[in-house]
Amino acid sequence: IKIILAEPEEMDDAKRSKDAGELLGHRPGAILNSCADALKTTLGPNTWPIIRDQVDDIITVSEIDILRATKLVWERLKICVEPSAAVAVACALGHTFAAKYKADETMVNIGVMLSGGNVDMC
């Protein structure tokens, strides 16, 4: 089993932390304006060791891909998820994931965790 996380490109503290091997916050001066607003928080001292030790990779996705994935889940799966949950779907459907994790005899299935229904439809 591989554990791959996803996060918005503009809020990539987990990816940068994993790549650097140390806990990092948001980029100085970063504009935290994402449709995936539940992911604006940063890793902390309790979550960082889990990410550092248990996660195999972290892939970032664009805002447009997050919105497309949210719409896809709503329309095709008929599940109300917030955009933060659709980040994982955007990752699984994206070019980066496809290039890094090609389907073969060792990987034939993937699982995506969906959560959250905190959506204002107005």
pLDDT over threshold 70, residue 117: no
* Residue range 15-37, pLDDT digits in tens: 999 999 999 998 888 888 899 98
Spatial separation of the C-alpha atoms in residues 91 and 122, rounded to whole Å: 27
pLDDT over threshold 70, residue 11: yes
Spatial separation of the C-alpha atoms in residues 64 and 71, rounded to whole Å: 11
pLDDT given at position 113: 87
pLDDT given at position 116: 67
* Residue range 39-53, pLDDT digits in tens: 888 999 999 999 999
* Residue range 55-85, pLDDT digits in tens: 999 999 999 999 999 999 999 999 888 999 9
